[in-house]
């Protein structure tokens, strides 16, 4: 097994930190904390570089808030300078560790986004009779810090890089996780092990994908099921043999226990693909792709929010057009021509107040 070393000078190089700052400020450059950092960006980056090189860097406190999308989730926002560090380490580490990922792992990878996953999922669903669709219960809050650190050490041998990754993992704020016992635990084991990664961090997104890389290889190499894909903690196995999937579910349950994870009892099911399968906001049917009703409801709610924001001058016309074009492109991946025509006919955007001068359209 190849382990990567000598990464530290690349991570703390001024050029990498500058690139990381540019990445971290995308679509956020006019926020107060970003403007404050950028006002003296060279000195801020040099200070950050010094803290990293002397290993005196410590992550700052998170700002947390709740969202409904569609279920209640806690989102944790790290301080801006910490987000710069997250991008800097990911710029170097992620391309190396991704080399071990299987083809069917789609989340948080360049060129492996939602819509490519949807196309692959649709092909598999239409070629196989049965699907085992799985979801992990409370995934981000359940990720075990000790197991994650062990996995990283199997791939990396650069000690300063491992120190920084430990700082990021240990700096995670407390997550609302269940108390669950696994085979071999004592009564206090669940309370003695730190768990949970903050949703919202770039590093958390990568760690969450990396944490299940072993599961991907287990399914492909031990269960020998090639018709498989995963998007974060939502994964699916396809087969024309229902007994094969029943056995696979039993083995996956035991494998996940070694990672201190559990399958969601209600969202993990085996059924025939001809009845339709839900995936990344769409319902995949044998002859068409439909947008899920709950996804459509949330999108319409966001459009109403955009209408209000535009009416009060809180969003510029170019920014509004970009948001609407993004949603149009997403819907276009399904059989939604008539739906899109009906939606655009119903939408009306109009100013009702004098816009802020700094947000006037060009």
Give pLDDT, residue 361: 46
Give pLDDT, residue 327: 76
130-135/72-77 β-pairing: unpaired
Give pLDDT, residue 354: 55
Q: Is the pLDDT of residue 256 over 80?
A: yes
Rounded mean pLDDT, 223-250: 96
Rounded mean pLDDT, 165-169: 97
Q: Compute the mean pLDDT over every residue in the chain, rounded to the nearest whole number.
A: 89
Give pLDDT, residue 112: 87
As given in the structure block, the two tokens for residue 149 are 């650190």
Give pLDDT, residue 362: 43
- Residue scoring higher pLDDT (286 or 304): 286
- Residue scoring higher pLDDT (3 or 357): 3
Is the Cβ–Cβ distance between 340 and 327 less than 8 Å? no
Whole-prediction pTM: 0.86
- Residue scoring higher pLDDT (140 or 75): 140
For residue range 90-104, list pLDDT tens digits in order.
999 999 999 999 999
Give pLDDT, residue 321: 84
Please report which confidence band the pLDDT of residue 235 belongs to, taking 50, 70 and 90 as the band edges: very high
Q: Is the pLDDT of residue 263 over 60?
A: yes
SS3 196: coil
- Residue scoring higher pLDDT (39 or 361): 39
Q: Is the pLDDT of residue 294 over 70?
A: yes
Domain ranges of the chain: 1-99+145-171, 111-143+197-286, 291-346
SS3 72: strand
Q: Is the pLDDT of residue 212 over 70?
A: yes
Give pLDDT, residue 70: 64
- What H or E segment, with its residue span, contains residue 282? strand 282-284
DSSP state of 10: H
For residue range 54-82, list pLDDT tens digits in order.
999 999 999 888 887 667 778 888 999 99
Give pLDDT, residue 69: 66
CA-to-CA separations, 281 to 131, 199, 220, 284, 291, in angstroms, rounded: 17, 19, 26, 10, 6
Give pLDDT, residue 341: 78
Alpha helical stretches, state H, the chain? 8-12, 14-24, 32-39, 41-53, 80-97, 114-127, 139-142, 145-155, 159-170, 189-192, 202-211, 213-217, 242-258, 293-311, 317-331, 337-346
For residue range 199-208, list pLDDT tens digits in order.
889 999 999 9
Please report which confidence band the pLDDT of residue 224 belongs to, taking 50, 70 and 90 as the band edges: very high
Give pLDDT, residue 73: 79
- CATH of region 111-143+197-286, choose from 3.40.50.2300, 3.30.70.270, 3.90.550.10, 3.40.1190.10: 3.30.70.270
As given in the structure block, the two tokens for residue 6 are 């000598």
Residue 129: partners with Cβ closer than 8 Å, 6 or more residues away: 239, 240, 272, 273, 274
Give pLDDT, residue 356: 53
For residue range 325-343, list pLDDT tens digits in order.
887 777 778 877 777 777 7
């Amino acid at each position: 097994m190849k382990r990567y070393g000598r990464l530290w000078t690349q991570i703390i190089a001024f050029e990498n930190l500058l690139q990381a700052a540019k990445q971290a400020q995308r679509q956020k450059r006019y926020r107060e904390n970003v403007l404050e950092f950028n006002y003296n960006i060279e000195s801020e980056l040099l200070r950050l570089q010094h803290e990293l090189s002397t290993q005196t860097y410590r992550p700052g406190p998170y700002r947390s808030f709740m969202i409904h999308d569609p279920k209640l989730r806690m989102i944790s926002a790290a301080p801006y300078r910490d987000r710069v560090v997250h991008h800097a380490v990911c710029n170097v580490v992620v391309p190396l560790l991704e080399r071990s990922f299987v083809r069917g792992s789609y989340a948080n990878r360049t060129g492996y986004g939602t819509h490519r996953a949807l196309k692959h999922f649709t092909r598999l669903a239409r070629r196989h009779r049965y699907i085992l669709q799985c979801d992990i219960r409370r995934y981000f809050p359940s990720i075990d810090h000790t197991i994650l650190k062990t996995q990283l050490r199997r791939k990396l041998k650069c000690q300063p890089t491992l120190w920084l990754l430990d700082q990021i993992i240990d700096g995670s704020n407390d997550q609302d996780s269940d108390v669950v016992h696994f085979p071999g635990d004592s009564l206090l084991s669940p309370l003695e092990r730190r768990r949970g990664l903050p949703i919202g961090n770039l590093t958390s997104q990568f760690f969450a994908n990396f944490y299940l890389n072993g599961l991907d290889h287990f399914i492909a190499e031990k269960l020998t099921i090639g018709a498989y894909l995963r998007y974060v903690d939502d994964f699916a196995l396809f087969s024309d043999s229902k007994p094969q999937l029943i056995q696979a579910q039993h083995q996956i349950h035991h494998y996940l226990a070694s990672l201190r994870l559990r399958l969601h009892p209600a969202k993990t099911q085996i059924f025939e693909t001809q009845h339709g399968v839900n995936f990344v906001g769409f319902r995949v049917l044998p002859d068409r792709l439909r947008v899920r009703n709950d996804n459509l409801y949330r999108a319409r709610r966001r459009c109403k929010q955009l209408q209000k924001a535009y009416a009060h001058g809180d969003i510029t016309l170019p920014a509004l057009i970009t948001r609407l074009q993004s949603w149009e492109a997403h819907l276009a991946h399904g059989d939604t021509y008539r739906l899109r025509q009906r939606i655009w006919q119903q939408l009306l955007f109009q100013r009702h107040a004098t816009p802020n001068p700094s947000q006037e359209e060009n």
